[in-house]
Structures are given as structure tokens and as C-alpha cells.
A and B are shown apart, each in its own frame.
Chain A
């Protein structure tokens, strides 16, 4: 099975940078995803890491270290609309497509 840990809540200021960490334990890692979910809405895809290193996509970047079982999502130039839950999800095992999600980090961006 898998164990995925991420902070429950974070607060940051508009225009600032915030890093949301995710640690995981899995017997056969096969990719890590970050999703954004606004209250009452569906999760939307942000990033995908399968190899070590940093993936950058506009204001959002995601980092993966497979040896440490660690990832982070970096959000730059925070905007009020970035207030949402951020879900870390891991795929385990070759051939499997199911994602195991963490409980999510609720980010509140303040003016």
C-alpha cells in the first residue's frame, strides 16, 4: 500500500511564493501528479513527474526525488484565485493506472 503525507493547511500572501511538500512511501513508484481543487469543483491537473528533477510550467513548478520519496509543488506570484486545495497523487506499479491521493493541502492566499 501507499502512505502519502502533505500539510493540511497553509497560508500565504498575494504575490509571494509558496512550496507545498508531499512525501510518500510506495513499493513500486510509477509517477506523481499534482492536482488543484477549488471547493465544490473537480480536481484539475497541474503537473506530472516520473523522473527526478524539476518540471516548470508557468507560475507552477513541481520537483521529484524518487530516492527520498519526496515532491514539492512551487507556486510563484501567488494570486487570490490560487486559494484552493492541492492534491498530491502517486501511481504505484507498472501497468497500473489508479492514483492514490493524499488528503490535500488547503492553501489560503491573503491580500
Chain B
């Protein structure tokens, strides 16, 4: 079956602009996660949704970052007033809701802020 999909695969923007990154999880997965990964580092947790609600947003670095999942499926990560330090690969993952289930990652969106 289809895996986690993310669009766009690459996004280049200018400092100060607004960007939206989309994630389409595996069908039937109620849990959805956003991470970001810088070169040579492991993924860094941003936010976790259970259904439509953000169950844990403790990883969002500041109020420029916001994410939604209005119908409990597709999610959008929104970044306002982008900064060069926001450049990274943004990874989305999904899973079933139990703690024992692994997270399946999408291919990521490479964001470059010039």
C-alpha cells in the first residue's frame, strides 16, 4: 500500500516568507508526527497529533511554527517569517495509536531559506 507522502519534495524560499509543508499519512494511522532533520543529525521532534488534535507540541521551536490536521488525516506544517536557521529536511511520520507501533516516515521536504 501507499506510504507516507509529503509535498513539495523541495522548497526554496526567501528569508521572511511564509511556507506550508504538506503530509499525507498512511491510511488508517491516527497518529501523525512532524520532525526536522539537519545534516549529520538525527530527526528532532516538533509536534504529534492524535486524530485532529495536537497531543504534544512541545518540540515547536517558537510561535512562528504551527501545524494543523483538521480532518484527522492530512496535516500541514506552517512556518511564518522564515529564517535561514529553519533550513532543514522536514519529516512527517504516521503510526497506529498504540505505544508499541513504529512510526513510518515520509521522504521529507527539503526546505532551504535563502
**Which residues 8-54 in A have Cβ within 8 Å of B in the complex?**
30-31, 33, 35, 41-45, 48, 50
Given contacts A89-B42, A103-B40, contact A43 B105 (CB under 8 A): yes
Residue-by-residue, is B78-114 near A (CB-CB < 8 Å gives 1, otherwise 0)? 0000000000000100010001101111111000000
> CA–CA, A103 to B106, complex, Å?
19
B27 within 8 A of A: no
> Would you call B42 and A45 a contact (CB within 8 A)?
no
Sorting the interface of chain B by its residue count into under 10, 10 to 19, 20 to 34 or 35 or more gives 20 to 34
Interface of chain A, main secondary structure: strand
Please tell me which one of the listed residues A45, A50, A98, A103 contacts residue B45 in the complex, with CB atoms under 8 A apart: A98
> Would you call A87 and B42 a contact (CB within 8 A)?
yes
Segment touching A, from B14-22, B52-60, B62-70: B52-60
> CA–CA, A12 to B100, complex, Å?
31
Closest to B107 in A: A42
> Would you call B107 and A103 a contact (CB within 8 A)?
no
> Would you call A96 and B104 a contact (CB within 8 A)?
no
Residue pairs across A and B with Cβ atoms less than 8 A apart, 26 shown, are: A4-B42, A33-B102, A35-B105, A41-B107, A42-B105, A42-B106, A42-B107, A42-B108, A43-B105, A44-B105, A45-B102, A45-B103, A87-B42, A87-B43, A96-B56, A98-B45, A98-B48, A98-B56, A98-B59, A99-B33, A99-B103, A101-B35, A101-B44, A103-B41, A104-B41, A104-B42
